[in-house]
Amino acid sequence: MSVAPPPIIRSVAELRALTATWHRAGERIGLVPTMGALHAGHLSLVAAAKAAADRVVVTIFVNPRQFNDPEDYARYPRTEASDAEKLAPFGVDAVYVPAPDQVYPDGFATTVSVAGVTEGLCGASRPGHFDGVATVVAKLFLQSGADIAFFGEKDYQQLQLVKRLARDLDIPIEVAGHPTVREADGLALSSRNAQLSTSARQMAPALYAALVGAAGRIRAGDAVPGVLDDTARRITAAGYQRVEYLELRSAQGLHPMIRLDQPARLLVAAWLDGVRLIDNIAVGP
Ligand SMILES: Nc1ncnc2c1ncn2[C@@H]1O[C@H](COP(=O)(O)OP(=O)(O)OP(=O)(O)O)[C@@H](O)[C@H]1O
Ligand SMILES: CC(C)(CO)[C@@H](O)C(=O)[O-]
Ligand code: BAL
């Protein structure tokens, strides 16, 4: 039996009216911010939100301010109707697809910028990206008034940024991280995977396999710099053109680490077939 897609809301006034009604009824509201082109990774966040909250709002907004490359913005998939259909079986209460002026009205002049966790990694190669993410996420939190929001660990640096942002700005929302959903061969789901050629798609799982191998060696006590060198070589030997970064950072705060003395995260960005893929793995002490 087919289920009707959830209602689509396009204005902040409608969103506020809805969430105010739910809050008056004592209901807890879960938020899942996305840029659409939904896949099983997004849907796992939706399922987690459904389990944790009485009402769930999914947002779909391709945020121009977080694209440092205008071509990447123009190319980004926009698939609203099929996204709404995918959400139907999850009992989502509303999909917020704001018109651009609902997020950035004429004269908009504010940027939210989070220091520390945004330094290096993706922050180094995507200038302005994290300011764009912080600004839009702050707006989505304040517009919705949600009680809990879900973000994937696939974008681990983004997750740390959002946690810091909510804490620093006293936004009364719980930020929940959710494990990365992977294909059977280990590749992290991402809307960018669709841009890979068939042969590149076959090579792609080597990235996660290399992270798993590196995490095992670091845990076993091998020296971190040597493991990172070997792992970067392993990734390029598998067919990736370039490793943009491969770093061990502290799991909280993302401080650079050269030995495993606290919970850590090994994070990577690498280019395959002209597509930039990111991934990361937990490395316990
Ligand atoms: N494989 C995944 N597992 C869990 N969460 C994911 C996964 N992929 C994306 N997410 C999460 O979904 C939310 C929306 O991400 P987004 O719409 O950017 O999807 P995406 O597939 O990462 O797209 P892209 O990387 O191409 O920009 C983010 O919180 C992101 O971390
Ligand atoms: C959090 C987010 C929806 C903000 O635009 C985006 O960066 C994403 O999809 O991860
Ligand atoms: N998943 C993070 C959004 C972006 O790559 O712009």
pTM > 0.95: yes or no: yes
Catalytic residues: 42
pLDDT at residue 72 in the model:
87
Ligand nearest the Cα atom of residue 155: 1
CATH number attached to the domain at 8-178: 3.40.50.620
Other C-beta atoms within 10 Å of 69: how many? 10
Task: Convert the pLDDT of each residue in 38-76 to its tens digit.
Answer: 999 999 999 999 999 999 999 999 999 999 889 889 988
Q: What residue spans in the chain does CATH classification 3.30.1300.10 cover?
A: 191-283
pLDDT at residue 1 in the model:
56
Q: What residue spans in the chain does CATH classification 3.40.50.620 cover?
A: 8-178
For domain 191-283, which CATH number applies: 3.10.20.520, 3.40.50.280, 1.10.10.10, 3.30.1300.10? Answer: 3.30.1300.10
Q: Whose CA is nearest to atom 11 of ligand 1?
A: 152
pLDDT at residue 3 in the model:
86
Mutating to test ligand 1, I would choose from 191, 196, 271 the residue with most ligand atoms within 8 A of its C-beta, which is: 191
Q: 178 labelled as ligand-binding?
A: no
- What is the 8-class DSSP label of residue 153? G
pLDDT at residue 213 in the model:
98
Contacts 24+ apart (CB under 8 A), 195-202: 195/273, 195/274, 195/275, 196/272, 196/273, 196/275, 197/273, 200/239, 200/272, 200/273, 200/275
| 3-state DSSP assignment of residue 205 | coil
Could you report the average pLDDT of every consecutive run of 10 residues in the chain (285 residues)?
Answer: 88 98 98 98 98 98 94 91 96 98 98 98 96 98 99 98 98 98 98 94 98 97 97 98 98 93 97 96 90
Do 77 and 37 touch, CB atoms closer than 8 A?
Answer: yes
Task: Convert the pLDDT of each residue in 143-173 to its tens digit.
Answer: 999 999 999 999 999 999 999 999 999 999 9
Phi-psi region of 186 (alpha: psi -120 to 50; beta: other; left: phi over 0): left
Q: Whose CA is nearest to atom 1 of ligand 3?
A: 155
Q: What is the largest CA-CA distance in the chain?
A: 58
Q: How far is the CA of 130 from the centre of ligand 1 (A)?
A: 15
Other C-beta atoms within 10 Å of 88: how many? 13
Q: How far is the CA of 26 from the centre of ligand 1 (A)?
A: 30
